[in-house]
Amino acid sequence: MSDQESMAPGSICWRDLTVRDAQAVSDFYQGVVGWQASAVQMSGYNDFSMVTAAGETVAGICHARGSNADLPPQWLVYIVVADVEKSAARCEELGGTVVAGPRAMGEGSLCVIRDPAGAVSALYQPSQ
């Protein structure tokens, strides 16, 4: 998938897991599925990018700190949207809940939502 296709509205562009002890959980996934952990320097600690044997970065494992402190400990997929503010508002109109955000992330913005069934995902708007 090209970068442009992976950032098309409706596509899943990333996945990560936010937990209290990212080091222990990244060690777990290294042992279970064979990923390698690549440290990502944060403000005084490391989160981890998880990399396949072929060198593809496929996921993140993050500490539940700072703006991630309230995220549930579950795999979170990031779904691309054209306008994160409008999508967050529409989520609430349709019976969902905005769990976190909208807020800036990197060069884009995101929010975390819970759908009416209780499933959690992130909505991501890349910079234009």
Q: Are residues 2 and 51 in the same domain?
A: no
Mean pLDDT of 106-127: 95
Q: What is the pLDDT of residue 107?
A: 87
**Residue appearing with tokens 């967050």:** 88
CATH number at residue 79: 3.10.180.10
Strand spans (E) along the chain = 12-19, 36-41, 46-51, 57-63, 75-80, 97-105, 108-114, 120-125
For the chain, give the percent of residues with pLDDT over 70: 96
- Number of domains observed in the structure of the chain: 2
Q: What is the pLDDT of residue 39?
A: 97
Is 29 a member of any domain? yes
Q: Yes or no: say if 76 and 54 are a contact pair by the CB < 8 Å rule.
A: no
Mean pLDDT of 93-111: 94
Q: Are residues 1 and 40 in the same domain?
A: no
Q: What is the pLDDT of residue 106?
A: 84
- In this predicted structure, the answer to whether residue 68 has a pLDDT above a threshold of 80 is yes
The pTM for the full model equals 0.88
Mean pLDDT of 46-69: 95
Is 42 a member of any domain? yes
Q: Are residues 126 and 84 in the same domain?
A: yes
Residue-range definition of the domain harbouring residue 57: 21-63
With cut-offs at 50, 70 and 90, classify the pLDDT of residue 1: very low
Mean pLDDT of 10-27: 96
- In this predicted structure, the answer to whether residue 52 has a pLDDT above a threshold of 50 is yes
Q: Are residues 84 and 125 in the same domain?
A: yes
Q: What angle (nearest 5°) sits at the alpha carbon of residue 103, between those of residues 90 and 46?
A: 130
Mean pLDDT of 5-17: 90
